[in-house]
């Protein structure tokens, strides 16, 4: 599923590039592809299992809901608003951009970074560091406002935990995609 999501994100990059948005559109594709390459280079921890059993499917749905619910609750308490617009894109194109960014960020931050930190320092430190780096990365979105940083850090930690519990990147991708669709 995560490979399919990544392919869709790259296709969205190609589509959105018709609007001459430059780096804003190409960056997520580069982030997603970098995440894939770095996962392979660092001996990824998460699986690409093509067949999903019924118990695995239930676990995936449960953790996707837990991840999404946590993002919603933490976001509700955050006083920092999401950006009101992305350049001059239509509502549909903004939502496509949100999907593209969610997939790219999950591929990089959960697929590569969480796994990388976990291999070196264990699960707790891996989740914490991945969340903090995810929060710092989102300073570009929220500015230096601490509520935005706290929200993104906690969201990153929850999504890392979901990826670890399910051993899949696609589950936090689904939660992140839904979060971005609602936020955009």
Residues 6+ apart with CB under 8 A from 111: 2, 35, 36, 39, 44, 46, 163, 169
pLDDT for 133 equals: 92
pLDDT for 80 equals: 42
SS3 167: coil
pLDDT for 149 equals: 84
Pick from 167, 158, 164: nearest CA to 71: 158
pLDDT for 83 equals: 47
C-alpha to C-alpha distance for 130 and 132, rounded to whole angstroms: 6
- Structure-token pair, residue 53: 């059993």
Pick from 2, 57, 44, 8: nearest CA to 170: 2
The residue segments making up the domain with residue 26 are 2-183
pLDDT for 63 equals: 72
As for how many domains the chain has, the answer is 1
User: Which helix H or strand E contains 33, and what residues bound it?
Assistant: helix 23-41
Which of the residues in the chain have pLDDT under 50? 77-85
pLDDT for 58 equals: 78
Q: What is the pTM of this model?
A: 0.73
DSSP code per residue over 79-147: -PPPPS--TT--HHHHHHHHHHHHHHHIIIIIIIIIHHHHHHH-HHHHHHHHHHHHHHHTHHHHTT-HH
């Amino acid at each position: 599923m995560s490979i399919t999501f990544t392919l869709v994100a790259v296709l969205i990059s190609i589509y959105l590039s018709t609007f001459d948005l430059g780096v804003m559109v190409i960056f997520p594709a580069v982030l997603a592809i970098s995440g894939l390459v770095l996962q392979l280079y660092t001996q990824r921890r998460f699986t690409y299992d093509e067949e999903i059993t019924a118990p695995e499917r239930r676990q995936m749905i449960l953790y996707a809901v837990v991840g999404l619910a946590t993002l919603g609750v933490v976001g509700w308490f955050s006083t920092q608003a999401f950006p009101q617009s992305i350049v001059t894109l239509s509502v549909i194109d903004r939502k496509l951009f949100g999907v593209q960014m969610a997939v790219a960020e999950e591929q990089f931050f959960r697929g590569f970074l969480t796994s990388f930190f976990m291999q070196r320092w264990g699960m707790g430190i891996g989740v914490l560091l991945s969340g903090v780096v995810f929060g710092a990365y989102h300073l570009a979105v929220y500015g230096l406002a601490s509520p935005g940083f706290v929200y993104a850090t906690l969201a990153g930690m929850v999504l890392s935990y979901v990826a670890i519990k399910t051993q899949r990147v696609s589950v936090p991708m689904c939660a992140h995609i839904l979060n971005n669709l609602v936020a955009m």
